[in-house]
């Protein structure tokens, strides 16, 4: 059954914005099960991205499995309001590397009682899956600049105590030559009560650090904030792995652990030994995927530090020794900035990187 939120083309919003095009969800994208995506345009020809919350669809699916109407309605509205409040909080703190909200509102449903809440954002050129290639000088330079933007964006969020938790290629949007982080719907905030606070990991589990899995839960730090910041460091290294190999670190490790045949009967020492062995093999595989050997050591070192299987050891050595800032990303921001500038200068001067 088609819902009102899935048929908004032609609807006119406040301030004269008209919904002109529906954006189809890509088959390999996860999340957003109860939302529809559109492009809206104003009288001046300016376009924006619109996310429509499909409460009707959520209710229909929930009723099929016996969940009460009022409960799912409350849950969907709580989730919408939480995301909107976080986005407004980010906007107030000028998080320049995070996709910020332009406007929000509710579209009345002429066919029923269930309205459609919405959020609007600046329209991006696409997510990074549309940009990543694997054997191109210009693309290599772009990757380093993009990763610098993402590290910067994550630190901006951490500075205001927001943990994104769902950093993955489809949640990185490209605006001309700038990458920005989007989709705070599954984020956690230390100072705000949210729907995912009690989730061990609220993001896409195919990108999750291995301590989220029961076999490696013994690796988790006990402090809530440290635990979540450590996961965030991993997600940055995970994304770096994808940029240079086409696979994330989690996928590489799960494949290698499966090949070793690790079972639930393994002791903790055996599990850690398996994991360390697979991690070192994954790092060498990543190194072999980087065509530009002058930069391979720097990139692999960053991934090794950020994705360390032991969450208490994630980050560069100097930062780990600093009291109170174990998971700060400032040194990675600096390293990626210097590396991207070196590559850009060499490419500009020589027409090639090697």
Work out the percent of the chain whose per-residue pLDDT is above 70. Answer: 92
- Look at residue 93 and tell me whether its pLDDT is greater than 90: yes
> Of the candidates 14, 11, 13, which has an alpha carbon nearest to the alpha carbon of residue 22?
11
Q: What does the pLDDT look like over 253-300, one tens digit per residue?
A: 999 987 766 666 778 888 888 899 999 999 999 999 998 889 999 999
**Is 24 or 105 the better-scoring residue by pLDDT?**
105
pLDDT value at residue 75: 87
Average pLDDT over residues 52-59: 90
Give, in order, the Cα–Cα distances in Å from 175 to each of 52, 146, 180: 22, 11, 8
**Is 344 or 106 the better-scoring residue by pLDDT?**
106
Pairing of strands 116-122, 47-53: antiparallel
CATH class belonging to 4-122: alpha beta
pLDDT value at residue 242: 94
pLDDT value at residue 150: 98
What are the structural domain ranges in the chain? Answer: 4-122, 126-350
On whether the pTM is more than 0.85, the answer is: yes
- Look at residue 315 and tell me whether its pLDDT is greater than 60: yes
Strand intervals (E) in the chain: 18-23, 35-41, 47-53, 101-107, 116-122, 126-127, 162-163, 172-175, 178-181, 188-189
Average pLDDT of the residues of the chain: 89
- Look at residue 173 and tell me whether its pLDDT is greater than 90: yes
Work out the percent of the chain whose per-residue pLDDT is above 90. Answer: 62
Average pLDDT over residues 24-32: 62
**Is 242 or 29 the better-scoring residue by pLDDT?**
242
The CATH architecture one would assign to domain 126-350 is: Orthogonal Bundle (1.10)
Average pLDDT over residues 173-200: 92
């Amino acid at each position: 059954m088609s819902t009102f939120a899935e048929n908004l083309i032609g609807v006119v919003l406040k301030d004269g914005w008209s919904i002109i095009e529906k954006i189809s969800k890509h088959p390999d994208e996860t999340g957003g099960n109860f939302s529809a995506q559109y492009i809206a345009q104003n009288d001046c020809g300016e376009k924006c991205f619109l996310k429509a919350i499909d409460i009707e669809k959520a209710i229909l699916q929930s009723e099929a499995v016996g969940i009460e109407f009022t409960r799912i309605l409350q849950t969907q509205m709580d989730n919408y309001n939480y995301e909107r409040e976080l986005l407004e909080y980010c906007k107030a703190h000028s998080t320049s590397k995070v996709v910020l909200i332009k406007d929000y509102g509710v579209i009345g449903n002429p066919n029923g009682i269930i309205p459609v809440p919405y959020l609007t954002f600046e329209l991006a050129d696409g997510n990074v899956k549309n940009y990543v290639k694997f054997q191109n000088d210009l693309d290599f330079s772009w990757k380093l600049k993009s990763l610098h933007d993402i590290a910067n964006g994550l630190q901006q969020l951490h500075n205001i105590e927001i943990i994104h938790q769902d950093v993955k290629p489809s949640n990185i949007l490209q605006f001309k030559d700038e990458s920005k982080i989007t989709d705070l719907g599954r984020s956690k905030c230390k100072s705000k009560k949210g729907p995912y606070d009690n989730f061990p990991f609220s993001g896409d589990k195919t990108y999750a650090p291995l301590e989220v899995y029961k076999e490696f839960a013994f690796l988790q730090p006990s402090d809530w904030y440290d635990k979540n910041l450590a996961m965030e460091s991993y997600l940055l290294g995970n994304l770096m792995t994808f940029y240079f190999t086409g696979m994330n670190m989690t996928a590489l490790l799960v494949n290698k652990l499966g090949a070793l045949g690790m079972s639930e009967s393994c002791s903790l020492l055996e599990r850690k030994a398996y994991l360390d062995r697979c991690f070192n093999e994954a790092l060498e595989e990543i190194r072999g995927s980087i065509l530009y050997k002058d930069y391979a050591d720097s990139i692999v070192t960053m991934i090794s530090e950020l994705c360390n299987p032991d969450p208490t050891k994630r980050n560069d050595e100097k930062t780990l020794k600093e009291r109170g800032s174990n998971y700060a990303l400032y040194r990675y921001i600096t390293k990626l900035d210097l590396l991207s500038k070196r590559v850009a200068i060499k490419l500009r001067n020589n027409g090639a990187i090697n």
